[in-house]
Structure 1
């Protein structure tokens, strides 16, 4: 998942904050502060933006039916909406007659409680698996076996991190791998940049091309009113192509450094020689860890199978389960228990790991809740459709391809302001997704455009603790990393734009 924590202090010449070096400059606020400010700002704007609504058909707005409405709420009721917005964002219910969302009552559930629990369940599962040591040991074992095949090792490792990104938004979890990867890459004759970017670029590109990432694709699809599996064919193609592009880019740089170390973008540190000469290899994986890795992989594979609408893809020999957040949350909770018991953590150890994992991911869940609260404020003030009508006027008459590219570009500044992919999705999708209905393209294309923009920005944003923390652990300066990744960012920008046009044509 995408980090929301603040970035570390500015790095010294060796890539780490210098001793006693003060933190200078204005630090960008956390995603929580940004969303709190957005909530208050949006609430204030509801007194300026004229209320209005579209007629709907099967939940989609009907073009040409926008009309003004008169609000019956007084100032006191609207102030209460602001006060209750986080609660409404979690378990608000929309009344069928008044159309207003409030805690309790009868009507359509509007809160993000299902997504909230799902995020905690995924956090529990990932944390339990990490505590078993199976993931770290598995990567170390793979690296040891492929050490004599340097290029293949780079491609395999980047692909593994990319798989983590595309399936569950691997982000903070990568921080535990730098201590393994930096010494390994130095031993192979590469530099620290290779060790840092095989992790950071791998997971980042995977997240950019998320297929079933619950924190990006899942939350965005839920907010857009579609299934997580909608549009997965295009996203799978994007993941395969962009991962290959990133692998080729990294391998070219690594080969240059191996052939001529003077072409490295970073200067060696005093401890590099010691790390190069350090011995030790990864031994065989115990049977329990092999089984844990099998369960870990099988859980995500089953999640992918359960959310894909096979019938819509004309795959008749596979059943369409149509699983959604309730079933998926249960899947990850059961899998977390199974992994803990298989690994020998015991009843108490497994329970503690599940609780700790849910606690580690509560931040992402709270961001989803806050973002959904903003949506409730707009809906209760009847300004969501007014904003939608204004945006429709801007994109009216544009081609579907231009519309798709525009959605990608519009989400870039939003991704910088809200670096949490889940918060960005819950905030933007209720407004942007219906625009696809007007443009005659699938809503899943808007979801793909959003997550591509979010992933692209989060590869370099200095507000991300994943980027800045990873660079600090690797002792790679941020400006050196930017120089390394800048050409790749341009290539990815062009490639994603091409995929947006392709998606508009075929979807």
Structure 2
């Protein structure tokens, strides 16, 4: 006899659970819990903090000493996430504002206008669409450092790419590989370049020439990688990883005069942002404030009402919610290490391990 229907359904559900990858929140929770356990195992210690000539707080490398153990208890573990959210507030705010601003620009058809203008230039040569879009998305990400924006791009470029004979995987790859390439080889990414240079005491956003070369190389590799797959699918649709896609006829995008002026305003504001970040060394909070204007001004020019703008910001907040939450939750691990006073001990141990290596 065959297996009963309800049993077969239960087996399928169990198999699905086994294949599912743990949620990012679960992974971070495990890491935070592990750090809390380490506060009971790793000896507590601390360096003395001194003020550097430029006014920054630094550690005295010769001042490490053991201190009384302060392991993190259950209450400390539970409050680590709220504390992490508080400490990561500038990053979280910046992420929300960026997501909201780009959602407003998308609602105002500004992003759609830009994509269609590029596509129209290469409508008879679709092979150029993939690398051009990747370099555009990479260029945006290399300055503002928000790979979460790939969520915004995919719905806009998907119908266009399907009409050219590509598939859904190509659309996702263009958005993801482009933004990640720019994030990795960032010129003024406040999350990576800005934070690390402030910690190490380097002039903010210095070394941009070298990183520009890295940006071109990494983005070009991403473009070639995606283009190779995209052209294979266009020539042989049956080789698509997402199955054969229906070719869509996308009507020509007709932008009114107000939308065109909104696009010009958005482009001008973005160029102004790049200039201000480079010359005035803006931090994340200042950039967040600027992005509010970058979203609101073009939207008003395009004819959006204040209510539509506000609702579009809400939609954008929802799209980057997980990314913003990850920033705060991940910071909780550092909070636990600091509360348990094992951070300096780990730095001390790593510094001794590195000191045995050649300079």
Cα deviations across residues 70-97 of structure 1 (Å, max 9, x unaligned)? 24x5x6x854432321232233xxxxxx
For normalisation by structure 2, the TM-score amounts to: 0.79
2:7 is matched with none
Q: State which of 324, 330, 334 in structure 2 corresponds to 1:371.
A: 330
In 2, distance between residues paired with 1:119 and 1:270? 36
**Change in CA separation of 1:35 and 1:356 when aligned onto 2, cut-off 3 Å:** same
1:61-140, aligned counterparts within 5 Å? Answer: 61-71=59-69, 73=70, 78-91=73-86, 111-140=87-116
1:478 is matched with none
1:185 aligns with 2:161: no
In 2, distance between residues paired with 1:366 and 1:256? 38
Q: State which of 25, 45, 56 in structure 2 corresponds to 1:32.
A: 25
1:245-284, aligned counterparts within 5 Å? Answer: 245-251=221-227, 261=235, 265-266=239-240, 271-272=245-246, 275=247, 279-284=249-254
Residue pair 2:113, 2:263 contacting (<8 A) in 1 also: no
Cα deviations across residues 324-369 of structure 1 (Å, max 9, x unaligned)? 2332221112222223312222111112222332343333222222
Residue pair 1:137, 1:282 contacting (<8 A) in 2 also: no
1:286 is matched with 256
Cα deviations across residues 111-150 of structure 1 (Å, max 9, x unaligned)? 2222222222112111111111221232123212311234
More helix by share: 2
For normalisation by structure 1, the TM-score amounts to: 0.58
1:466-481, aligned counterparts within 5 Å? Answer: none
In 1, distance between residues paired with 2:312 and 2:125? 37
**Change in CA separation of 1:66 and 1:44 when aligned onto 2, cut-off 3 Å:** same
2:273 is matched with 303
In 1, distance between residues paired with 2:339 and 2:128? 55
Cα deviations across residues 34-72 of structure 1 (Å, max 9, x unaligned)? 22222222112111110112234433334343221224x
In 1, distance between residues paired with 2:170 and 2:96? 33
Gaps of 5+ in 2: 1-11
Bigger radius of gyration among the two: 2
Cα deviations across residues 390-421 of structure 1 (Å, max 9, x unaligned)? 22233224456xxxxxxxxxxxxxxxxxxxxx
Across the aligned residues of Structure 1 and Structure 2, the Cα RMSD in angstroms comes to: 3.3
1:24-423, aligned counterparts within 5 Å? Answer: 25-57=18-50, 58=52, 59-71=57-69, 73=70, 78-91=73-86, 111-167=87-143, 168-169=146-147, 170-186=149-165, 194=170, 196-214=172-190, 216-217=192-193, 229-251=205-227, 261=235, 265-266=239-240, 271-272=245-246, 275=247, 279-308=249-278, 320-398=279-357
Gaps of 5+ in 1: 1-20, 92-110, 309-319, 401-507
In 2, distance between residues paired with 1:323 and 1:203? 21
The Cα of 1:223 is off from its aligned counterpart by 7.2
1:419-438, aligned counterparts within 5 Å? Answer: none
Matched length: 338
**Structure 2 SS opposite 1:382:** coil
Residue pair 2:167, 2:245 contacting (<8 A) in 1 also: no
Deviates more, 1:335-344 or 1:217-226: 217-226
**Structure 1 SS opposite 2:63:** coil
In 1, distance between residues paired with 2:60 and 2:193? 25
Residue pair 1:307, 1:321 contacting (<8 A) in 2 also: yes
**Change in CA separation of 1:82 and 1:264 when aligned onto 2, cut-off 3 Å:** same
In 2, distance between residues paired with 1:270 and 1:378? 50
1:7-26, aligned counterparts within 5 Å? Answer: 23=16, 25-26=18-19
**Structure 1 SS opposite 2:98:** helix
